[in-house]
Amino acid sequence: MKGFGGSGGHFHMGMGMRSRSGNLPFAGIPPEMVGKTNALIRKEPDFSDLKLKFSYRAPDEGVFTLWSFLAPYKYRMLGSLALVALTEMLLLVGPYLVMIAIDDAIIPKNFSVLLLVAVAWVASLIVAVIVSGYRIRYVAKLGQLLMYELRIRVFTHLQRLSLDFFTGEKAGRLMTRMTSDIEALSHLMQTGLVNFVAQTLSLIFIIGILLHFNVELTLILIVIAAPVMLVMTSWFRKVSGKGYENVRNRIAEVLSDLQESLSGMRLVISFNRMKHNVINHRNIVGDYRDANNHTAWISAIYSSATMFVDVATTLIIIIIGYFILLSVNPTLDMDGEFTVGALIAFINLAARFFKPISSLTGLYNQFQAGNAAVIKLRGLLSTPPSVLEKEDAVQIVDLQGDIKLRNVTFSYDDTAAVLKNVSLHIEAGHSISFVGPTGAGKSTLAKLIARFYDPDEGDILIDNQNIRDIGLQSLHSQLGVVPQEPFLFHGSIKENLRFSRPDATDEEIMEACKAVGIEDLVDRLPQGLDTPCHERGSSLSSGERQLLALARAFLSRPRVLILDEATSNVDQQSESRIEHALDTLLEGRTAIIIAHRLATAMRADIIAVINNQGIMEMGTHEELIDKNGYYADMYQTWMEQNAGTVIA
């Protein structure tokens, strides 16, 4: 079902026990099972009230920043931070209890106090375990919610962008945006931010407690450890920041190479490029491996150096602590200013002083990766659709289909114009065919009329209304486009046909199939209309795919039909069958037919010959023959060839 915006009805039907006309007959849930299904539904997350902000107008939502993204959840974030603070505090009870155990139980040989300390310790651990278990669940759920919203927001934005964006952008790169960039942000959300707060709090608590134990020792610890740590950390930040960026670039390359070779598999096999492909992929994956090894190496150096500093500092503290103890409390009085218990607790806690520092530097990387992802996603989310809808766009309900082009000039890349100064009038209900050499701009002209792109100069009017003033949805809902490369989604044939009109009944779908002459094809298929087809429809022949695309366009009963080489891959017999069907189907409709085969092209009311300059000749078949120009030449060649076939 994925990929079908309009036919999500099946899903709701199961959930809400509603039946919609046009779907499979649905008898309802047997009464004895209603209770259980309702209980199940109650546990299901409710996907039905997804609030989508979707428009073709320029500003979609505000600028995407980490803060604007998190703001709606600030109370929940604070809640999770409170849980984090609680766990960190509970975990620091230990060293305190060590001090009490030594000074008040072991040295005075008081077993009942020791027992009490043990009980208190176990109790604090149990509470810590429960709280942290709850915290992990809470934070993970919040993180998933954020990611869910973000994925939908990015996907929705992609849906509203214009065609030029998708042709200009490498598909692999968009995939990276949707997968690893969101993944990086997800890491930051789920572990990064929480850990950052947890470690910072833990550092503050530890320093607080250390100061309480002994001020001089704490200062020494900070003076010795802090500068060394700072130098090491800044080195690590610099080197690993670069390293991680490299890793991310490499993985993007791995992904796009994978995608390219998988979608071009047919060519790979037929040109025996398998070995070459493997070598190429091995190099790319090898680079990725090297990049990862490099960061692992940096981390290894850093963490062992940290460990060394850790041990060295502990030794220094023991020695200095020994002298402080002797000078402040030479009798080792357990009620003295500084006690043996306090020294041991200090050493115990000092070991934990390094952990937050090194995790914080690790988190810095995660933060950088997340921030890079935010910047890239911001770039994507702030790209407006290039074909914009006006604030006061008119929604036309009853399109007549009168199409005028006035001095239209258009280029894809602002350099060489594909169409120059094209003017054209197609009256409502008439058909026009575009013929001309490959690459002349026929498909481009059709795309401009469907407003997939906006012309650089000049205007296109439909029913005397500038196309730029018409609501895009109302325009597209009355156009039926059969593109040059028909695309079928993963799903059944029926779902693919219903794509153009989600509420079409099975009878209407069958009618459309009959109209394009594929009812026997459908009958032949093992499951009829329910036969699954796959992405790009590679299980069907090209001709069959074209016919399905044609049926899909007919099903929506469009006022204007645009057929771009819609019959170029079907056999002569099917083509003539479609032509007959077209005669009835086109009645009262405006049609734009792009065809290389003159047999198809000459059935239109007017024929326009397009070349690199724009429209070269235009008129009815007879007029153009009389004119004795390009079209007459084409016709002549075609006739001769046909005569040849007949004789042969």
Ligand X SMILES: Nc1ncnc2c1ncn2[C@@H]1O[C@H](COP(=O)(O)OP(=O)(O)OP(=O)(O)O)[C@@H](O)[C@H]1O
Query: What is the closest distance, in whole angstroms, from the C-beta atom of residue 608 to Mg ion in the complex?
Result: 14
Q: In what order do the strands lie in the sheet with 403-410?
A: 419-426, 403-410, 457-462, 465-466
DSSP string covering 277-341: HHHHHHHHHHHHHHHHHHHHHHHHHHHHHHHHHHHHHHHHHHHHHHHHHHHH-TT--TTSSS-HH
Token pair 């505090």 is found at 89
Tell me: does residue 420 bind ligand X (CB under 6 A): no
Tell me: does residue 438 bind ligand X (CB under 6 A): yes
Query: What is the closest distance, in whole angstroms, from the C-beta atom of residue 565 to Mg ion in the complex?
Result: 6
User: What CA–CA distance (Å, rounded) separates 502 from 6?
Assistant: 5
**Looking only at residues 217 through 276 of this chain, which bind Mg ion when binding is defined by CB under 5 A?**
none
Q: Write the burial class of residue 27 (CB in 10 Å: 0-12 exposed, 13-18 middle, 19+ buried).
A: exposed
Tell me: does residue 218 bind ligand X (CB under 6 A): no
* Binding segment (CB under 6 A) for ligand X, from list 95-103, 196-204, 434-442, 463-471: 434-442
DSSP one-letter code for 400: -
Residues 6+ apart with CB under 8 A from 109: none
Query: What is the closest distance, in whole angstroms, from the C-beta atom of residue 612 to ligand X in the complex?
Result: 8
Nearer to ligand X by C-beta: 26 or 412? 412
How do 491-492 and 532-533 pair as beta strands? Answer: antiparallel
Interface residue with ligand X, options 176, 444, 500, 590 (CB under 6 A): 444
Tell me: does residue 449 bind ligand X (CB under 6 A): no
- What is each CA distance from 381 to 66, 94, 145, 473, in whole angstroms? 13, 48, 19, 21
* Binding segment (CB under 5 A) for Mg ion, from list 24-32, 105-113, 235-243, 481-489: 481-489
Contact 548, 514 (CB under 8 A): no
Helix axis angle for 193-213 and 93-100, nearest 10°, is 20
Interface residue with ligand X, options 144, 167, 304, 505 (CB under 6 A): 167
User: What CA–CA distance (Å, rounded) separates 223 from 517?
Assistant: 86
Dmax of the chain from CA atoms?
124
Interface residue with ligand X, options 413, 414, 507, 622 (CB under 6 A): 413
Contact 61, 53 (CB under 8 A): yes
* Binding segment (CB under 6 A) for ligand X, from list 310-318, 398-406, 433-441, 514-522: 433-441
Question: What is the pattern of x (binds Mg ion, CB under 5 A) and - over residues 397-436?
Answer: ----------------------------------------
Query: What is the closest distance, in whole angstroms, from the C-beta atom of residue 441 to ligand X in the complex?
Result: 4
DSSP string covering 332-386: --TTSSS-HHHHHHHHHHHHHHHHHHHHHHHHHHHHHHHHHHHHHHHHHHTPPPS
How do 590-594 and 560-564 pair as beta strands? Answer: parallel
Tell me: does residue 443 bind Mg ion (CB under 5 A): yes
Encoded amino acid at 24, one letter: L
Check residue 188 and give left, alpha or beta (phi > 0: left; psi -120 to 50: alpha): alpha
Q: Binding partner of residue 438 among ligand X, Mg ion, none, CB under 5 to 8 Å per kind?
A: ligand X
Encoded amino acid at 328, one letter: V
Nearer to ligand X by C-beta: 342 or 563? 563
Tell me: does residue 217 bind ligand X (CB under 6 A): no
Tell me: does residue 379 bind ligand X (CB under 6 A): no
DSSP one-letter code for 394: B
Tell me: does residue 546 bind Mg ion (CB under 5 A): no
Query: What is the closest distance, in whole angstroms, from the C-beta atom of residue 457 to Mg ion in the complex?
Result: 22
Give the interface size with ligand X as a residue count (CB under 6 A): 12
Nearer to ligand X by C-beta: 63 or 416? 416
Tell me: does residue 148 bind ligand X (CB under 6 A): no
Tell me: does residue 299 bind ligand X (CB under 6 A): no
Strand, coil or helix: what is 607?
strand
* Binding segment (CB under 6 A) for ligand X, from list 190-198, 347-355, 441-449, 568-576: 441-449
Tell me: does residue 440 bind ligand X (CB under 6 A): yes
Interface residue with ligand X, options 439, 503, 535, 539 (CB under 6 A): 439
* Binding segment (CB under 6 A) for ligand X, from list 286-294, 432-440, 523-531, 551-559: 432-440
Query: What is the closest distance, in whole angstroms, from the C-beta atom of residue 499 to Mg ion in the complex?
Result: 22
Tell me: does residue 153 bind ligand X (CB under 6 A): no
* Tokens at 165, concatenated: 């964006």
Exposure on the CB side of residue 515, measured as CA atoms within 13 A: 20
Tell me: does residue 475 bind ligand X (CB under 6 A): no
Of 221, 189, 196, 436, give the one whose Cα is nearest residue 315. 221
Query: What is the closest distance, in whole angstroms, from the C-beta atom of residue 87 to ligand X in the complex?
Result: 55
Query: What is the closest distance, in whole angstroms, from the C-beta atom of residue 453 to ligand X in the complex?
Result: 9
Tell me: does residue 412 bind ligand X (CB under 6 A): yes
- Footprint on this chain of ligand X (rule: CB under 6 A): 167, 412-413, 418, 438-444, 484
- Footprint on this chain of Mg ion (rule: CB under 5 A): 443, 484
